[in-house]
Structure 1
Amino acid sequence: MSQDGRAEPATEAFVAHRNLLFTVAYEMLGSATDAEDVLQETWLRWVGVDLGTVRDQRAYLVRITTRQALVRLRTLGRRKESYVGPWLPEPLLTTPDVAEDVELAESVSMAMLLVLETLQPTERAVFVLREVFDL
């Protein structure tokens, strides 16, 4: 907090884009816990940035998040070498009643999972950023 009671500019920017950053990390990692860890790493890197040199804060934050998610994917890949099952993201409940969304999600989710499973971590990041977020 600054002396006038307002949040610092870095904090305001991070909070403004936090939902987007979480979604990017979650789509790449498939785990809410891992996505939160990536957001913590993103925050630590973001507070060390000179904001005067950043032209587009949203793009810069997405770049940091993507790179951190790729690092996490590589780390998880080394840890889960013996896992033989398909890659499936953990369910993420966002509202108490998701019955309407479940029907639509089921029709798309298997195809998306198969595509994501066949991609390398860097390819997965590019696919998620381009197709899901149109970046």
Structure 2
Amino acid sequence: MAYCAGRAIPIWNGKPLVDTSGYYVKQPNALSDIGNISPSWIGGINNTLRYKSISLNFLIDIKKGGDVYDLDLDYAASAGLTPHTAGYNKNGKPVRSPLADGGGYLMEGVTADGKPNTKLVDASDINKKKFPFSSDNQ
């Protein structure tokens, strides 16, 4: 599963599933977990080196796994400050331009029949919780 604004997105052949409108298909549970912050495993090494009256102590601590939600990325994307909310689309037009002018954003994924998504969506929909990097935070 992938996650979009806190909702799970079904995966089809390793790619997120996109509906006929070009947006990711989301599970209906709006209160689903974004992820699990608990690491898969943790470990550490502590050692002390002594020479005469000098002592050197060091600790190496490792955590592997767990999910973290990047709220800064969420706010930046909602404000249009991140690279994937600007730039040019497959038509060479600015992503932020209206669809009528050739603008729009392409959600990477596949449709229900397994074909790559080719439908551009309006970038102004970012604050409608339809993008994987948007939420109610505005």
More strand by share: 2
Q: Is TM > 0.5 for Structure 1 vs Structure 2?
A: no
The TM-score normalised by the length of structure 2 is 0.28
TM-score w.r.t. structure 1 length?
Answer: 0.28
